[in-house]
């Protein structure tokens, strides 16, 4: 599990009964630096299961404006980028990047990530976003190279899809079974 150490998973009955502010605080890290989405999800309670909570986050993002979606994408850190080197990642991102070995790159791999990150920013004005927990270091590299051939609209859609996958796993980490 990758939830921050201070956040224990809560049972669905607990989540559905929480005051909105506590629900929002519990799920604040589901979408990178975008805790306001948790308020929209809190308003949709009660939820039948963790997948319904995850689906509510995806719906909130897809129902938002294109400008807000781009802001959400841009809130994600570059993989193995400056924020990672400086130790400025959210607890969720740090754990996720470590799970794919991105905190243990050799010199050549690090240089390749820097080239890919630069190419992404140059072409799309966005970071490369991928659900690292569902990938290996090699598939992350391959995906970045492949997605550089996307159009801006295709890449925006791909990034939002990956953000949905990231959010789903983070929600599942925050909801206890049973």
Size of the chain, expressed as the number of residues it contains: 178
Q: What is the arithmetic mean of pLDDT over 109-136?
A: 92
pLDDT at position 3 over 50: no
Q: Are residues 85 and 143 in the same domain?
A: yes
Q: Are residues 61 and 116 in the same domain?
A: no
Considering its fold, how many domains does the chain have in total?
Answer: 2
CATH code, domain with 155: 1.10.3330.10
Q: List, for residues 137-148, the tens digit of each pLDDT value.
A: 899 999 999 999
Please choose, from the candidates 88, 159, 156, the residue with its C-alpha nearest in 3D space to the C-alpha of residue 129.
Answer: 159
Q: Just list the catalytic residues.
A: 76
Q: List, for residues 45-99, the tens digit of each pLDDT value.
A: 999 999 999 999 999 999 999 999 999 999 998 886 554 554 555 677 667 777 7
Q: Are residues 99 and 156 in the same domain?
A: yes
Beta bridge partners of 175: 10
- For residue 83, the enclosing domain spans 76-162
Beta bridge partners of 176: 11
**How big is the chain by its Cα radius of gyration, in Å?**
16
Q: Are residues 20 and 66 in the same domain?
A: yes
Q: Are residues 101 and 132 in the same domain?
A: yes
Residue 156 belongs to some domain of the structure: yes
Q: Are residues 26 and 54 in the same domain?
A: yes
């Amino acid at each position: 599990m990758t939830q921050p150490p201070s956040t224990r998973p809560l049972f669905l009955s607990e989540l559905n009964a929480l005051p909105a502010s506590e629900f929002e605080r519990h799920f604040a890290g589901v979408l990178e630096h975008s805790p306001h989405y948790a308020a929209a999800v809190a308003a949709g309670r009660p939820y039948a299961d963790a997948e319904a909570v995850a689906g509510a986050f995806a719906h909130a993002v897809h129902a938002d404006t294109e400008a807000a979606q781009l802001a959400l994408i841009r809130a994600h850190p570059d993989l193995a980028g400056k924020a990672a080197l400086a130790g400025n990642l959210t607890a969720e991102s740090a754990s996720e990047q470590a799970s794919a070995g991105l905190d243990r790159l050799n010199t050549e791999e690090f240089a390749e990530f820097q080239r890919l990150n630069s190419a992404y920013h140059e072409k799309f004005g966005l970071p490369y976003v991928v659900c690292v927990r569902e990938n290996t270091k090699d598939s992350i590299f391959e995906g970045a190279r492949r997605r550089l051939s996307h159009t801006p609209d295709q890449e925006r859609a791909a990034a939002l899809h990956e953000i949905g996958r990231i959010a789903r796993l983070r929600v599942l980490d925050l909801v206890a079974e049973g």
